[in-house]
Amino acid sequence: MLKKILVSQPKPTSEKSPYFDIANKFGVELVFRPFIKVEAISSKDFRAQKVNILDHTAIVFTSRHAIDHFFNMAKELRINIPEDMKYFCVTETIALYIQKYVQYRKRKIFFGETGRIDDLIPTMVKHKTEKYLVPLSDVHTDSLANLLDSKKLQHTECVMYKTVSNDFTEEEVKNFDYDMLIFFSPAGIESLTKNFPNFKQDKIAIATFGPATAKAAKEAGLRLDIEAPNEKYPSMTGALQHYLFEIQD
């Protein structure tokens, strides 16, 4: 029986998170402890990419991290973002986050419904004349660039932040006594092998979200007990609940 599960993400801010329902339902302890953290790149490293923000008329945001680092970089470079700049976000939540930096009502902001970039593309295609800038992490694939190419949209990708290992303290290493570890990115798997070079899985269950994370885990020699999303369970919480039901029987 699983008693203690490490979720490698920040603790949910809403009490309505399905994770808390799972903890109550199955009597398990959930510990939220990210294996990775996001840091800004230097203005020097950004300049080395030879990308001029003001050459673009629209920004594509795939996360709140992207928003933070875009506006912070603009401030550091003393660039005034024009009021007619358009913003395209994968979700409404991300779109609303923009008001941390600019007056939301005065901006032209568009967002998708599902969180998948594919669902934002039709809106972007309606604005085919825009020159899109896509701020990204140093850890990314070419899938987004290829998708925009396929729709013949003008776009530039640039790295504005980097994903690094969120190292464990000696005390955390000593008290690493989890029955399950849940990962959401290949960088999380890398952090595990870095912080615990002699890690032995044994009976520890491993759950991964996304094909790239699953691939990284298998390449690290880990046994996967949960792979999400899948046909039945599109979310990690759904897949986790099903797994706990199964092992309970």
Q: What is the pLDDT of residue 106?
A: 63
Establish whether the linkage from the previous residue to 122 is cis, with ω within 30° of 0: no
Helix, strand or coil, per DSSP, at residue 109:
strand
List the structure tokens of 225.
């007990």
- pLDDT score of 19: 96
DSSP class per residue in 12-40: PSSTT-HHHHHHHHHT-EEEE--SEEEEE
User: What pLDDT score does 230 carry?
Assistant: 87
Domains of the chain: 55-163 (3.40.50.10090)
Mean pLDDT by 10-residue block, N- to C-terminus, for the chain (249 residues)?
Answer: 93 90 96 94 96 97 94 97 93 91 80 85 95 93 92 97 92 94 94 94 96 94 95 92 88
pLDDT recorded at residue 249: 61
What pLDDT score does 98 carry? Answer: 93
Query: For residue 119, how far is the Cα from the chain centroid?
Result: 17
Query: Residue 210, SS3?
Result: coil
